[in-house]
Chain A
Amino acid sequence: MADQSVPPLIRPTMYAVRTYRAIAVLWVRSSLTYPVSFWLLTLGGLLTNGLDFVGIWFMFHRIDVLGGFGLREVGLLYSATSVAIGVGDLLIGSVEQLGQKIRSGQLDAMMTKPVPLLVQVCADQFQLRRLGRISQAVIVFAWAAPVVEWSPARVLVAVMMLVAGGAIFFALFVGFSAIQFWTTDASEFANAFTYGGDTLNQYPMTVFPKELVKSLTYVLPLAFVNWYPCLFLLGRSDPYGAPDWIRFASPVAAAALLLVMSLVWRAGVRHYRSTGS
């Protein structure tokens, strides 16, 4: 129950985390009531994700470097963005199906509950099997890790990278899904930026034209998910000449994006409540 000694901002956050966890646990238990289906889907997910990096690996049978980066270095970039989108994907549940929830009236029902709407939407249809993507990415990361000359600073930046990367994808999923408050159906549009961005991030930015890299820095800050922090881990400077401090700026980029996307979400909810679409 409410502990009066807890400071004001902490209490709603704790309530949000607690209710998210409680809803997520029930979704996991729901999916476990169909064990065969659960394990088949988990296995299928592992296979799909497992084959994902194999493509890049085969490519390196023909070439030694890609955009100036070796196989393990690309593996580092690949696994960092994969962990990030995996975390984002795990946390957002079924937010990309927002339009469907609006049409079915499920969103209205959620609005009669005291839990913040975003928490309910994100916890809805929480699937533990999405950990499959993350675990595959963690394996690739462990395999690629020896390419880094580890130091305390690099460990810190690596942790920062994974947390900020997860937050960036989470923000993108939420923000682009919020567009469905206006359109009620544009789930594919969000995917273009999230899964599409993840695919771009699997390659060194040096293979892309400078203009694209710039827009992935300043417009849609996907380069902060893995590219800039990985440059630091690999002891490189940005080939496109960005200042060195940008390699530590991922948390700032993530925080800014979270802020912008939460405003988009709020505007979306307000629009919904005033149009009832």
Chain B
Amino acid sequence: MSDPLIEVRDLGRDFTVRKRVGTFRRSSRVVHAVRDLSLQIGAGEMVGYIGPNGAGKSTTIKMLTGILVPSRGHLRVADLEPSRKRRELARRIGVVFGQRTSLWWDLPLRDSFELLQRIYEIPTDRYRHNLAAYVDLLDLGTLLDTPVRQLSLGQRMRGDIAAALLHDPGILYLDEPTIGLDVVSKGRLREFLRALNAERGTTLLLTTHDLQDIEALCDRVIVIDHGTAVFDGPLTRLRTTGGATRTLVVDLVDEVPPIAVDGAEVVKVEGPRQWLAFPADASAAALVAQVAAAYDVADLSIHEPDIEDVIWDLYSR
């Protein structure tokens, strides 16, 4: 990451919220939607950007795309200052909003694509090549001549993603790309995004509420809360952060009182089955050996900490 594609340092963004207090009097209050946010994203990374509603996710994205001007701090995307070079930057990024489409509702999908060719001034051979590639990868062949209003949600999302990629953007911002999709569609979409990243080196920044998106796609997660990053690192480390525990489920041959072993704690007993919680960064092997040595064990299984719980834990701190 010698030359980061996205560079954010001490970024802040305030909003003035006005509230009516009397018939005519209004009081105003400053809200720090984003504060002291620093992060760097290198070319080709796939980053999950998550946080509860109102944490500052969309404010950050709006600053990264140049829609909003930061209140303070340093911000560079593809060597450009987004708010000053918004339209120049627009040619180098792709944006997909999961909750609404950028496609032409009443016209065949092809028309939306052809308009984008003009808007981004994509050379014809490049356009044809990209269109063919995305039609193939996203399985859009039969849909090109169908009016967008007749497409299913999953088909439309694939269309939207192709639309955002026709001009070969180096960065793709995806806002809730899998919202409302069925399991099969979600799976195909994730597969496509992985391939896109692997083959074209497209940098992905994904905001989502679906943590399975993150698990399937992102090597790195940034968790934002109250306008600032509370975690930034690989997904595996997120699991072990914040005293998260793994659980060893032991099926014993007999019903016995709670097992007493070092480094673990029985959290639940149900007949011969017992649940032992142990620190996520501790070795499971040593614990299993201890239990097996002292008890007659019929079966064992280990449960990884639920990522959702870990994040919930981060938020509630």
Q: Are A33 and B107 interface neighbours, CB within 8 A?
A: yes
Q: Which of A21-29, A76-84, A221-229 contacts B (4 or more CB under 8 A)?
A: A21-29
Q: A1-B121, A19-B119, A30-B105 are contacts. A113–B68 as well, Cβ < 8 Å?
A: no
In the complex, whether B200 has a CB less than 8 A from a CB of chain A is no
Category for how many chain A residues contact B: 20 to 34
Write out the residue numbers on chain A whose beta carbons fall within 8 Å of the beta carbon of B111. 26, 29
In the bound complex, how far is the Cα of B59 from the Cα of A19, in angstroms?
Answer: 29
Interface size (B, Cβ < 8 Å)?
A: 32
Name the segment of A44-52, A91-99, A203-211, A269-277 touching the other chain: A269-277
- CB within 8 Å of B: which of A107-135? 108-109, 111-116
Which residues does chain A contribute within 8 Å of B123, judged by CB atoms?
1
Query: Is A214 close to B, CB under 8 A?
Result: no
- Is B115 in contact with chain A by the CB < 8 A criterion? yes
Q: Is B295 engaged at the interface, CB distance under 8 Å to the other chain?
A: no
> Which residues from A are CB-within-8-Å of B107?
26, 29-30, 33
B308 at the interface (CB under 8 A from A): no
Q: Which of B80-88, B132-140, B252-260, B280-288 contacts A (4 or more CB under 8 A)?
A: B80-88
Smallest beta-carbon distance A125→chain B, Å: 12
Contacts of A108 in B (CB 8 A): 62, 67
Given the contacts A33-B107, A112-B93, A276 and B68 also touching, CB distance less than 8 Å? yes
A152 within 8 A of B: no
- B312 located at the interface, meaning its Cβ lies under 8 Å from any Cβ of chain A in the complex: no
A2 within 8 A of B: yes
B65 touches A111 (CB 8 A): yes
Known A33-B106, A108-B62, A275-B15; contact A115-B119, beta-carbon cutoff 8 A: yes
**Contact in complex: A114, B119 (CB < 8 Å):** yes
B100 A114 Cβ-Cβ under 8 A: no
Q: Nearest CB to that of B67 among chain A residues?
A: A111
Q: Are B97 and A109 in contact (CB under 8 A)?
A: yes
> Is B267 part of the contact surface with A, judged by Cβ < 8 Å?
no
Q: For residue A275, which residues in chain B have a CB less than 8 angstroms away from its CB? A: 15-16
Q: Is A103 interfacial (CB 8 A cutoff)?
A: no
A276 touches B59 (CB 8 A): yes
**Complex Cα–Cα for A108 and B63 (A):** 11
Contact A114 B120 (CB under 8 A): yes
Residues in chain A near residue B192, CB distance under 8 A = none
A22 touches B118 (CB 8 A): yes
A241 within 8 A of B: no
Asked whether B104 is an interface residue with its Cβ less than 8 Å from the other chain, the reply is yes
Going nearest first, the 9 A-B pairs with the smallest beta carbon separation are A114-B90, A30-B106, A112-B95, A33-B106, A111-B67, A114-B87, A22-B118, A273-B69, A274-B69
- Using a CB–CB cutoff of 8 Å, the interface residues on chain A facing chain B are 1-2, 15, 18-19, 22-23, 26, 29-30, 33-34, 105, 108-109, 111-116, 273-276
A-B contact pairs, 22 of them (CB 8 A): A2-B121, A26-B111, A29-B107, A30-B106, A33-B106, A33-B147, A34-B106, A105-B97, A108-B62, A111-B65, A111-B66, A111-B90, A112-B90, A112-B93, A113-B87, A113-B119, A114-B120, A115-B87, A273-B83, A274-B68, A274-B69, A276-B67
List 20 other contacts, CB 8 Å, given A30-B107, A33-B106.
A1-B123, A2-B121, A18-B118, A19-B118, A22-B115, A26-B104, A26-B107, A26-B115, A34-B106, A105-B100, A111-B65, A111-B66, A111-B86, A111-B90, A112-B95, A113-B119, A273-B83, A274-B69, A276-B67, A276-B68
Interface residues of B, Cβ cutoff 8 Å to A: 15-16, 59, 62, 65-69, 83, 86-88, 90-91, 93, 95, 97, 100, 102, 104-107, 111, 115, 118-121, 123, 147
